[in-house]
Structure 1
Amino acid sequence: MTIDARTLLPIADRAVSIASEIIRTKAPGIITAKGDRDMATEVDYAVEHAVREFLSRETPEIGFLGEEEGGSHPGNGLMWALDPVDGTANFLHGIPLCGVSLGLIDKDTPTLGVIDLPFLNLRYLAAEGAGAFANGSEIRVSDIRELETAIVAVGDYAVGENADERNQPRLALTKELAARVQRIRMFGSAAIDLAWVAEGRIDANIMLSNNPWDTAAGVILAREAGATVIDLDGSPHSMTSHATIAASPKLVADLVELIAETRESVVFSRNIAE
């Protein structure tokens, strides 16, 4: 099924507005444990239910995948991917670095994304071929050329099963970055990491994971803002990639080289994904 993602931006924007209102106005409520140090709140489930219901009415031909309750995968290859509260741990602790992330995936490629950060009053939108925007203004990736002057965000460390093993490459990479870049940041939200690369607030982001609800919206946002988005080996990023690396194009070669050096001493390929 072929569809111009730009035509669906108004629907995605309305869906995210519904989600944002719930996040802003409801307390976290009952916490449901999903595993070791991993949890969901009542708000996570309330947002996912509300957005799923809205999109099933507005776009019944498009599948839906939510972080908390999964979803359907239609044969036409189109699927919404939702993280109802990206940064749940931040949300629980009253840290405003959290929000809702809604992407549209066409087969293996994100083509539309809307990210809203309710407590920062920031709304990001992008669709393939239409550019990337923050609160209505077009945004572009930074022009940083050297790692020594770059601020690089890294994804959360792993928790749960085999966390120690899965964190070996994360810790090794953090060590290498600390010796090379201006500053490292960990915001606790994949949506923020990617949106802020797109907006030029940070210069690169490295996540050794690639869950579609985490990355779909942010990847298209970063790409439309001029960022290069790749996998660990430097190949173009897709929804089946092992990792999600987004950066100012002028930093990509140095980042790939740094990651390759780190991979020589640590086994990256062994179950790094969260």
Structure 2
Amino acid sequence: MKKIILTFLLFVGALFVFTNQVFAYETFSTKIDDKANLFTPEQKTQLEEKIKEVEETSKSAIAIVTITENDRGSSRTYADYYILDNLGKDKNATILLIDMERRKIIIDASGDMIDILSDGRKKNIIDKISPLLTNQNYYSGAQIFLDDTEQYVKDGVEKGHFRIDEETGEITRTKVKTPVSITIFGSIIASLTATFGAIFTTRSRYKVKKVPYKYDWQNNYKLKLNTSNDSLINTFITTRIIHRDDSNNFTGGGSSGVGSTTHSTGGGTFSSGEGSF
């Protein structure tokens, strides 16, 4: 019996280690990089707290960046390199860049967030933010970015989602799967722990020599599993478009639908949405 309990405890420990590794993520050291001084200290504090919540939900790095000077060229390139310089290539990350010099809004995504924030979703956020920034209501704009990003993460990857490379026209279609959530692991562990605890307690209390106790598994073992609606990417199937549509009216929605237009910067892959104010 002791060997069984020891084996079970080792299994639980290994499962927790595996889970922590799978769901580990990096974050930006500065979550509100306000070079343009658009936010008050109190607003920065509130936005940072909200970012932490969104990061925990999305398991990705989130930052809001404001600038008055851009030495990287385009606003999009600045956003790409901001992620690259702070996190590295293809990390799970999303930033909102407010470029005061060019009056541009950029929502830039890398890693798994490319699939969460499709072109249509990025456009929806920017359409809400743009008039607020025009009226110098930067704080409300930042709040909408965080609230909507969090909601899209909870909604999961859209059905029929795909990536399309803006240079080659290559499409990567994603086969979306609704997997068993991490909550199931918790349910399994809790149920098995309760079961082993019942066995151990009963054996200790009613132990009789030469009469081994047999636990009635069929009548006493219960395991309740809860599934999550989180949509994660399971497989990728890649095809190639022969004739590229430069208007970005791609099949399935393109830049206004469930697709994510991608580009490469510094060896990393990104998907960005852009607006003006």
Higher Rg: 2
Q: Using structure 2 for the length normalisation, give the TM-score.
A: 0.26
The answer to which structure, 1 or 2, has the higher relative contact order (CA under 8 A, 6+ apart) is 2
**Larger helix proportion of the pair:** 2
**Larger strand proportion of the pair:** 1
